[in-house]
Structure 1
C-alpha cells in the first residue's frame, strides 16, 4: 500500500500563503499581475529563508520532516 503524504502541513501552508498579501509582507509587487491571491511560493521561500524547492516540497506534502527552527 503506497504511503500518502501528511496533508495538514501542506494545507496550512497553502492557506497561509493565500492569506498573506505582498503589501503585508513588505514585498514590492513590481512583477505585476498575479494568477492567484497571496504570495508566490518564491516570495514566501525567500521570507522564510529556505529554498524554493524545499518550500514547494513542504507545500505539496512531499517532505515529512520539516526541520525545527534554528537558534
Structure 2
C-alpha cells in the first residue's frame, strides 16, 4: 500500500467535490475546499477517525468493502476507482460490479 500516494489521492478527490454534488447542504461558513473528512466518512459508512487516519498516512490497509465504499462516496470514475484499488493494494473488481454512479473517465 502506498500510503503517501493514497493520502494525496483521497485529499485531491475530496477537495474536488462540493457538498451539493453529493446531496448535502453547503452552509455559508465552510472553511474547507470541497467536502469535509467527516462528510466523506459519512457517505462511505465509515468512522471519521479511520478516514482521517487514511489521509494522515496512519491507517492500516482498508478492506475491499471500505475501498469500494470510498470509491462510491468520492464519485470516482472507473479509472479512478481502479487507481484507488491499486494504491491500496487490492485487485480492482470487474467493471460490471461497479456501482451505477461510476462512469467513463471525465
Please, what TM-score do these two structures have when normalized by structure 1? 0.81
What CA distance in whole angstroms lies between the structure 2 residues aligned with 1:52 and 1:67?
16
Q: 1:43 aligns to what?
A: 39
Unaligned runs of 5+ in 2: 67-106
Q: 1:18 aligns to what?
A: 15
Q: 1:8 aligns to what?
A: 5
1:6-36: per-residue Cα shift (whole Å, max 9, x none)?
2011000000000000010110124x32112
Runs of 4+ in 1 over 6 A off after TM superposition: none
Unaligned runs of 5+ in 1: none
Answering whether residue 65 of structure 2 is matched by residue 64 of structure 1, we say: no
* Contact preservation (8 Å) 2:14, 2:34: yes
Instruction: Give 1 or 2: higher helix fraction.
Output: 2
**In the comparison of the two structures, how many residue pairs are matched?**
65
3-state DSSP class of the match of 1:16? helix
The Cα of 1:63 is off from its aligned counterpart by: 1.2
Please, what TM-score do these two structures have when normalized by structure 2? 0.56
* Contact preservation (8 Å) 2:37, 2:48: yes
